[in-house]
């Protein structure tokens, strides 16, 4: 009899655990929006990353492995792009100009690469220069290992801070119990390097035996948003959770962001990955999304073109096909607004040097947000 | 009479062998397909093939999948973009080219056409996938 009672109790206990705590702030429809979108670069497939050259023209990566230079209304394919491992979520990913591009000409790209031992691929970081319509001086600065044929979680975004360090992300490659918490392994990490690929002497794990010395923070799942907060200079990140549990984090040296030991999400088949949402020694997110929006691309608005949005975060939603605007007060999200619902799978959002915000949408192209 | 009997037995056994053989092959393929599905498809089409209304079409009891075998293979092989109607609802989004091999696509097809209430005994083979052109 006692045994029989236990089964329903276990069932109740399990279903209680499966109840996720929804985000503290819900996404709202916009009241009156004084901006509209204009498609400025049409006919793109998956415009993963973009950055702007000093002449205002655009470099746009296509996941399939093309680098497009868009200038005066004309698209030119750039040659010399590294061979990419275009499988699942892998392909040509982010692109970022060096903060001192005008003087040194360096361009940085992350991509899924089959280089190295083993079949499959993993995330790589390259720097290169643009000469005419070709890339030259290609240098692979980092290649995560080992390769795997799994389709998930390559990351990746690139950011520079005010002190000249470069940060980039690599997701955990579908091995959440293996990679994110192990400092001797790549994946599920944010890395910090000098701009030439050398490992900074004061990186947090340089003295840890067998650790990957480029690791700056760990316990990440799949970060596809990484920027320097233009107001504070800190590195801000967002990452995909499983079902629920997408996060915004401020990246700090040597910190553990918890995946998969703590998470606000559950697995896709509703099974529990972890019952813990917090643990000592692990960072709490600045904000978490339940349900997931599937965030890709992150920008903070500082430009005078959008006075209503100043200081807000913009995040692309792959899942709900809109751009989310998050209002912050003292590093807390206090309001979420759905912008341009139905725009399409938003892959990327960037505030350009001209002050305008550009949005990369899958199957469409690059949109510019303009005041009405 | 004896010949008839022998012939009949011969046909029967070869029929049984081929059905059993295909069944075994199908079961193997479904098993492999499940793993690949969890790797490549589940983030959008979800754990029970239910998709997400408005964004990602369902695979479970999907009329599109059941009635459009070749188009479904083509979508997995080359990606899919534009308007499609699934179970009376319109979807207009994009699915990326996933970079899968033909045998993997066959496995996924066999898994998704035999899961969540879907049933398909007619196995999708690597050869069939290889013959689907862009």
**For A41-97, where are the alpha helices, taking DSSP H only?**
none
Q: Please, how many CA atoms are within 13 Å of residue B25, restricted to the half-sphere of its CB?
A: 14
B14: pLDDT confidence band, cut at 50, 70 and 90? low
| pLDDT at residue number B10 | 56
Any catalytic annotation for residue A153? yes
The average confidence (pLDDT) of chain B is 89
A114: left (phi over 0), alpha (psi -120 to 50) or beta: alpha
Give me the residues paired with residue A98 across strands: none
pLDDT > 70 fraction of chain B, expressed in percent and rounded = 84
> Could you tell me which of A64, B84, A154, B99 has the C-alpha nearest to residue B108?
B99
Q: Do A151 and B98 touch (CB under 8 A)?
A: yes
**Are the C-beta atoms of A176 and A260 separated by less than 8 Å?**
yes
Select which of A69, A98, A153, A240 is catalytic.
A153
- Alpha-carbon distance of B72 to B80, in angstroms, equals 9
Contacts with B94 from chain A: Cβ below 8 Å: 45-46, 344-345, 362-363
- Residue range A93-109: average pLDDT? 98
Residue B95 Cα, gap to closest chain A Cα (Å): 9
Q: Please, how many CA atoms are within 13 Å of residue A222, restricted to the half-sphere of its CB?
A: 23
Does residue B11 have a pLDDT over 80?
Answer: no
Does residue A2 have a pLDDT over 90?
Answer: no
CB pairs under 8 A between A and B: 54
- pLDDT tens digit string along A210-244? 999 999 999 999 999 999 999 999 999 999 999 99
- Three-state DSSP at B21 gives helix
Omega within 30 of 0 (cis) for the link into A260: yes
| pLDDT at residue number B12 | 57
Contacts with A151 from chain B: Cβ below 8 Å: 39-40, 98
Q: Which domains does chain B have, with CATH numbers?
A: 2-130 (1.10.760.10)
First to last CA, chain B: 53
Query: Most B CBs within 10 Å: which of A88, A90, A239, A293, as the mutation test of the B interface?
Result: A88
Residue B79 Cα, gap to closest chain A Cα (Å): 10
| A319 has a chain B CB within 8 A of its CB | yes
Does residue A352 have a pLDDT over 90?
Answer: yes
Q: ipTM score here?
A: 0.82
Does residue B50 have a pLDDT over 70?
Answer: yes
| pLDDT at residue number A218 | 98
| pLDDT at residue number B16 | 54
**Which two tokens mark B78?**
């080359």
- Alpha-carbon distance of A324 to A287, in angstroms, equals 13
- Residue range A335-363: average pLDDT? 97
A217: left (phi over 0), alpha (psi -120 to 50) or beta: beta
pTM for this one? 0.91
- Residue range A93-121: average pLDDT? 97
- Residue range B36-45: average pLDDT? 94
- Alpha-carbon distance of B51 to B59, in angstroms, equals 7
Q: Please, how many CA atoms are within 13 Å of residue B23, restricted to the half-sphere of its CB?
A: 6
**Are the C-beta atoms of A309 and A340 separated by less than 8 Å?**
no
- Alpha-carbon distance of A330 to A273, in angstroms, equals 31
* Residue entry with tokens 């800190």: A234
A15 to each of A277, A292, B47, how far by Cα in Å? 16, 20, 17
| Strands A287-289 vs A246-251: parallel, antiparallel or unpaired | antiparallel
Does residue A332 have a pLDDT over 90?
Answer: yes
- pLDDT tens digit string along B97-120? 999 999 999 999 999 999 999 999
- pLDDT tens digit string along A10-40? 443 444 445 688 998 999 999 888 999 999 9
- Alpha-carbon distance of B117 to B67, in angstroms, equals 15
Question: The domain containing residue A231 runs over which residues?
Answer: 48-294
Q: Do A362 and B94 touch (CB under 8 A)?
A: yes
B13: pLDDT confidence band, cut at 50, 70 and 90? low
Q: Minimal Cα distance from A269: which residue of B?
A: B47
| A45 has a chain B CB within 8 A of its CB | yes
CB atoms < 10 A from the CB of A257, how many? 26
Evaluate whether residue A210 is within a structural domain.
Answer: yes
- Residue range A330-344: average pLDDT? 96
- Considering its fold, how many domains does chain A have in total? 1
- Residue range A81-89: average pLDDT? 97
| pLDDT at residue number A17 | 45
- Three-state DSSP at A162 gives coil
| pLDDT at residue number B4 | 52
Does residue A296 have a pLDDT over 50?
Answer: yes
**Which two tokens mark A343?**
């725009």
Q: Minimal Cα distance from B92: which residue of A?
A: A344
**Interface list for B 39-58 with A (CB within 8 A):** 39-40, 42-44, 46-48, 52, 55
- Alpha-carbon distance of A74 to A17, in angstroms, equals 54
Contacts with B47 from chain A: Cβ below 8 Å: 243, 267-270
Residue A314 Cα, gap to closest chain B Cα (Å): 20
- pLDDT tens digit string along A320-331? 999 999 999 999
- Alpha-carbon distance of A83 to A61, in angstroms, equals 13
The average confidence (pLDDT) of chain A is 94
A269: pLDDT confidence band, cut at 50, 70 and 90? confident
| pLDDT at residue number A15 | 42
CATH at residue A71: 2.120.10.30
Evaluate whether residue A134 is within a structural domain.
Answer: yes
Tell me whether residue A73 is exposed, middle or buried, using C-beta atoms within 10 angstroms of its C-beta: 0 to 12, 13 to 18, 19 or more. exposed
Q: Do B47 and A268 touch (CB under 8 A)?
A: yes
**Which two tokens mark B85?**
């109607």
User: A6 CB contacts (<8 Å, ≥6 apart)?
Assistant: none
* Residue entry with tokens 């505030």: A351
């Amino acid at each position: 009899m006692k045994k029989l009672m236990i089964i329903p109790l276990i069932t109740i206990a399990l279903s209680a655990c499966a109840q996720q705590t929804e985000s503290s702030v819900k996404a709202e429809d916009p009241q009156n929006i004084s901006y509209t979108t204009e498609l400025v670069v049409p006919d793109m497939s998956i415009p993963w990353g973009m950055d702007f050259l000093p002449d205002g023209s655009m470099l746009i990566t296509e996941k399939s492995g093309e680098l497009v230079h868009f200038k005066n209304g004309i698209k030119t394919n750039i040659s010399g792009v590294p061979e990419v491992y275009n499988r699942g979520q892998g392909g040509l990913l982010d692109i970022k100009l060096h903060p001192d591009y005008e003087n040194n000409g360096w361009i940085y790209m992350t991509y899924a690469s089959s280089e190295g031992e083993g079949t499959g691929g993993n995330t790589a970081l390259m720097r290169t220069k643009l000469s005419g319509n070709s890339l030259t001086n290609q240098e692979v600065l980092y290649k995560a290992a080992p390769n795997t044929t799994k389709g998930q979680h390559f990351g990746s975004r690139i950011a520079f801070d005010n002190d000249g360090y470069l940060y980039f992300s690599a997701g955990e490659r579908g091995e959440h119990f293996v990679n994110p918490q192990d400092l001797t392994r790549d994946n599920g990490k944010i890395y910090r390097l000098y701009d030439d690929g050398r490992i900074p002497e004061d990186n947090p794990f340089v003295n840890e035996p067998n650790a990957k010395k480029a690791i700056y923070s760990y316990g990440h799942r799949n970060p596809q948003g990484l920027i320097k907060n233009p107001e504070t200079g800190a590195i801000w990140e967002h990452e995909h959770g499983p079902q629920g549990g997408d996060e915004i984090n401020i990246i700090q040296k040597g910190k553990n962001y918890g995946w998969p030991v703590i998470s606000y999400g559950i697995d896709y088949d509703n099974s529990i990955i972890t019952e813990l949402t917090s643990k000592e020694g692990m960072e709490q997110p600045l904000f978490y999304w339940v349900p997931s929006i599937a965030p890709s691309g992150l920008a903070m608005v500082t430009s005078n073109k959008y006075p209503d949005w100043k200081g807000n975060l913009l995040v692309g939603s792959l899942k709900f096909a809109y751009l989310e605007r998050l209002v912050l007060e003292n590093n807390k999200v206090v309001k979420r607004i759905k912008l341009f619902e139905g725009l399409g799978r938003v892959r990327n959002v960037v505030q350009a040097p001209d002050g305008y915000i550009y949005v990369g949408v899958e199957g469409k192209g690059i949109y510019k947000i303009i005041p009405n | 009479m004896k010949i008839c009997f022998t012939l009949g037995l011969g046909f029967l056994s070869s029929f049984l062998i081929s059905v059993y053989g295909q069944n075994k092959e199908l079961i193997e393929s479904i098993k492999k397909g499940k793993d690949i599905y969890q790797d490549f498809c589940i983030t959008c089409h979800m754990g029970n093939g239910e998709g997400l209304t408005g964004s990602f079409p369902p695979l479970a009891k999907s009329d599109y999948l059941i009635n459009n075998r070749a188009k479904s293979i083509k979508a997995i092989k080359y990606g899919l973009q534009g308007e499609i109607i699934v179970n009376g609802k319109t979807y207009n989004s994009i699915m990326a080219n996933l970079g899968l091999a033909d045998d993997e696509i066959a496995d996924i097809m066999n898994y998704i056409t035999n899961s969540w209430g879907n049933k398909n005994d007619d196995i999708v083979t690597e050869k069939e996938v290889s013959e689907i052109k862009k």
